[in-house]
Amino acid sequence: MARKISMKQAINEALDLEMRRDPAVIVMGEDIVGGAGSPGEEDAWGGVLGVTKGLHAKYPGRLLDTPLSESAYIGAAIGAAACGMRPVAELMFLDFMGVCFDQILNQAAKFKYMFGGKAKTPVVIRAMVGAGFRAAAQHSQMLTPVFTHVPGLKVVCPSNAYDAKGLLIQAIRDDDPVIFCEHKNLYGHEADVPEEAYAIPFGEAAVVREGKDVTIVSYGLTVHRALEAAERLAKERIEAEVIDLRTLSPIDWDTVLESVETTGRLVVVDEANPRCSIATDVSAHVVQEAFGALKAAPQMVTAPHTPVPFSPVLEDLYIPTADAITAAVSKIAPRAMAA
Amino acid sequence: MSTNPFPLDKADLMKAYRTMRTIREFEERLHVEFAKGDIPGFVHLYAGEEACATGIMMHLTDVDRIASTHRGHGHCIAKGVDVHEMMAEIYGKATGACRGKGGSMHIADLAKGMMGANGILGAGAPLVCGAGLAAKFRGDGGVGITFFGDGASNQGMVLESMNLAAVWNLPVIFVVENNGYAESTSVDYATAVDSYVDRASGFGLPGVTVDGTDFFAVYEAAGEMIRRAREGGGPALLECKMVRFFGHFEGDAQTYKAKGENDYNREHRDCLKIFAARVREAGVVTADEFAAIDREVGALIEDAVASAKAAPLPSARDLTTDVYVAY
Ligand SMILES: Cc1ncc(C[n+]2csc(CCOP(=O)(O)OP(=O)(O)O)c2C)c(N)n1
Ligand SMILES: [Mg+2]
C-alpha cells in the first residue's frame, strides 16, 4: 500500500526495514540517537534533522552515537563492513568529508581492487548535500563529482521520497561502499511510497518526463527545477525530456544516449561547481558517443565556480534556476521549432 | 574608597564588564530576532560563556591571533570585531564583516587577529599552529589561541595540533570550552578522560582546568599561559567549564537537558552576575556605574540591529567576486 510520505520519512523507513531484515545492519553518527549521557531525554534528536528518530527504541544498541571524530567512526564503519557488518554511517553534512576522506578515498574505495577482489566493503555513508538552507560555504556544497571521480565508490543522489527509499535499501544490500547524498531541501518533499521494502537497482536513470525536442539531464533537487522549466517550455511548444540520473556511479549512459539520439539536443543541469562536474562528464560522454545525433552544442547549467554564499539573495542566484534552464534550452532549440 | 583586591584596575574591570555585557546583549537580542524569522541560517549563541572569551582576550592585542568556532560571536566581540559589522553579517547584508558572504558561522576580521568563526569542528587548531609559527618567525611575541568545544576536542585535527605545537614549541594556547554538551550529547559520554588536563599531559603540554563562569579564574590562568608562551615557553591547554544558556542552535528544543537546568544556570552560574556582584561588593565599581554600561550597551545593540535591518543587500555581481575565476 502506497501513501504519501516525505523523503525524510522514506529514509527512516528504509533504515527501519533493513535493520529488521538483517541484524548485520547497524547505524552510527553524531546525535543520531541524541541525548547520550545527558540528563534529559534519550533519543532527543534522532539526527540533526530528525531522520533517524524513533529507530533507537526499535533496535536498542544498534544505533551508535559517536564522538565528534569523523575519521575514527567513518573509518570504523568501513572496517566493520570489511569484517561482515553492514554499517550505515551518517556524516551529517557531506562537507565534513574533509576530515575523514582518507578512510573513504584510500581505504573503502580501494579494498576490493587492491586486494585482488577478495574484499567486500558493504558500507553506506549517508550525508546531506546542497544549497538553499542558508547554511553558508561549509555546510552547503554539492560534492558529488569529488566522489564520482573515485573508482570503487558508488554515488547516489535521489530527487524524491520514492527513489530515496528504494535506493537506500539497495545501498544497504550492495556489497560496495556507497555515498548516499540527501538534498537537505528535499527532506520535506512528499511522494507516494509503498509501505513494503523494495530496492531500486543502481545505474538505472528515470525518465521523469517524456519529450522529443531536447533532453534535460539532472539529479537531486535540480530535477524539480528541470521539470519546472519543461512545463514552461511546453507552453512555447518545446517538448523537453527530463532524465533523473538517480545514481551518478554507476551512471546510466544508455538512457541518456537513447534520449539524445531522438532529441539531438542536450542540457545538463548540475548543482555542483562547473569544472570537472557531472555536467562536464555527461556532456563529454554524449559528444563522444553520439556526436552524429547532436543538432547543437550541449549546454551546461551549473552553480557558478564559487563557494556557496551565505546571504539569501546571493544563495538564491547560486542554485541553477528554472529560468537558467529555460534560457539554456532556448539557446539551442531554435525558435523555428515552436512554429 | 576601598582598595582594589582584583588583578585589574578599575578601567579594565569596567572594560571586561562592558565586553561581557555586549556579548550577552548581542546574543539575547539575536535569540529574539531569530524567533521572528528575520535571521537566515544556523545561529549558535554564546550566552552564559562570556567570561571565557573575555578573560582570555583581555590579555591580547591585534598581533595575537585567535581561531574561533561555530559559536563564535563572543570570541569576535571580545577580540574587538565591530558589533555593527557582525550584526549586518548575520543579517546577510553588504555592510557585514564578510559582506554577507559568510554569515554567523564565518565572521572574521583578520586585521583584528580574528581568523574566523568556523563551521568545521576543530579546524582552528591547525590554523592557530600556523599563527604561532608565523609569530615566531616575525619575532613580535604574538600568540595564537584556538577555541574548541568539549565535542570538538575529539577531532583528530585538535589532537595532532597539540602534538605539533609541543614538538615545535609554538606560542599556542588550546582552549577547551567545556559546556557539557556537543549538540545533545554529553561530554561524559563522548570524552573518555575525566579531565582535559590529563589529555594535555599526554601530549606533553601543561594544562589547567578552571571554572569558566568565574572571570577572574579564567583571566589569571590564561594570563600565566599567555605570558609563558610569549616568552618562548611553548604551548598549553586551558579547560574552561561553563554553561550554555540557550540550545545548541536557535530552534533546538533542548529536551536532552535536565528540567529546570537553564533556569538553575541563569540563577546560579551566570558569569556576568557573578562578576558584577564581586566587583560591586568589593566597592570598586558601583551599581550606578554598571547600570550606565548596561544602558550604553543596550543602545549599541539596538542601533546595530536597526542599522543591520536597514543596510543594503549584496548585489548580484558579488556572487562571483573574491574567487580566482570571475565570470
Ligand atoms: C567536522 C564537523 N563535524 C560535525 C559538525 C556538526 N556540529 C556542529 S557544532 C557540533 C557540536 C559541537 O559541540 P562542542 O564542540 O562541544 O561545541 P559547543 O557547540 O558546545 O560550543 C556539531 C556536531 C561540524 N560542524 N563539523
Ligand atoms: Mg560543548
Q: What is the pLDDT along chain B (327 residues), one digit of tens a residue?
A: 569 999 999 999 999 999 999 999 999 999 999 999 989 999 999 999 999 999 999 999 999 999 999 999 999 999 999 999 999 999 999 999 999 999 999 999 999 999 999 999 999 999 999 999 999 999 999 999 999 999 999 999 999 999 999 999 999 999 999 999 999 999 999 999 999 999 999 999 999 999 999 999 999 999 999 999 999 999 999 999 999 999 999 999 999 999 999 999 999 999 999 999 999 999 999 999 999 999 999 999 999 999 999 999 999 999 999 998 644
Rounded Cα gap, residues B124 and A51, in angstroms: 29
Question: Going from the N-terminus, what domains does chain A have, and what CATH number goes with each?
Answer: 2-194 (3.40.50.970), 206-338 (3.40.50.920)
Q: Over the stretch A185-210, which tens digit does the pLDDT of each residue have?
A: 999 999 999 999 999 999 999 999 99
The residue in chain A having the minimum alpha-carbon distance to the alpha carbon of residue B150 is: A68
3-state secondary structure of B321: coil
B98, three cell numbers: 564578510
Confidence class of residue A1 from pLDDT cuts 50, 70 and 90? confident
pLDDT given at position A339 = 44
Q: For residue A270, what are the CA distances in angstroms to A158, A274, A319?
A: 13, 8, 9
- Cross-chain residue pair A99–B184, CB shorter than 8 Å: no
From the CA of B181, how far away is ligand 1's center (Å)? 9
B250, three cell numbers: 536557535
Catalytic residue of the set A56, A139, A183, A189: A139
pLDDT given at position B125 = 98
Tell me which DSSP letter residue A155 carries.
E
Rounded Cα gap, residues B251 and B215, in angstroms: 29
Rounded Cα gap, residues B281 and B285, in angstroms: 9
Of A125, A131, A127, A204, residue with least CA distance to A163: A204
A44 pLDDT higher than 50: yes
Query: Nearest ligand to the C-alpha of residue B46?
Result: 1
The residue in chain B having the minimum alpha-carbon distance to the alpha carbon of residue A275 is: B325
Q: Is A230 exposed, middle or buried (0-12, 13-18, 19+ CB in 10 A)?
A: buried
Residue to test with chain B: of A300, A310, A323, most B Cβ within 10 A: A310
pLDDT given at position B325 = 65
How far does Cα B194 stand from its chain's mean position?
Answer: 23
What homologous superfamily does CATH list for B10-320?
Answer: Thiamin diphosphate (ThDP)-binding fold, Pyr/PP domains (3.40.50.970)
3-state secondary structure of B54: helix
Would the CA dihedral through B199, B205, B206, B212 be positive or negative?
Answer: negative
pLDDT given at position B213 = 98
3-state secondary structure of B178: strand
A242 pLDDT higher than 50: yes
> Which residues in chain B are closer than 8 Å to A39, comparing Cβ atoms?
186, 256-258, 261
- Cross-chain residue pair A44–B186, CB shorter than 8 Å: no
A93: enclosing H helix or E strand: strand A86-93
- Cross-chain residue pair A136–B106, CB shorter than 8 Å: yes
From the CA of B207, how far away is ligand 2's center (Å)? 19
pLDDT given at position B324 = 82
What ranges do the domains of chain B cover? 10-320
Q: Is A313 exposed, middle or buried (0-12, 13-18, 19+ CB in 10 A)?
A: middle
- Cross-chain residue pair B102–A137, CB shorter than 8 Å: yes
Please measure the distance between the N-terminal and C-terminal CA atoms of chain B and give it in whole angstroms: 66
- At A198, give phi and psi (nearest 5°): -150, 145
- Of the candidates B181, B186, B320, the beta carbon closest to that of A304 is on B320
In whole numbers, what is the pLDDT of chain A averaged over residues? 97
Q: Length of chain B in residues, anyone?
A: 327
Of B116, B185, B129, B130, residue with least CA distance to B154: B185
The residue in chain B having the minimum alpha-carbon distance to the alpha carbon of residue A100 is: B156
pLDDT given at position A337 = 56
A227 pLDDT higher than 90: yes
Closest protein CA for atom 17 of ligand 1: B149
Rounded Cα gap, residues A174 and A205, in angstroms: 18
Number of C-alpha atoms within 13 angstroms, CB side, residue A7?
Answer: 22
The single residue listed with the C-alpha cell 592557530 is B128
> Which residues in chain B are closer than 8 Å to A38, comparing Cβ atoms?
181, 184-186, 189, 256-257
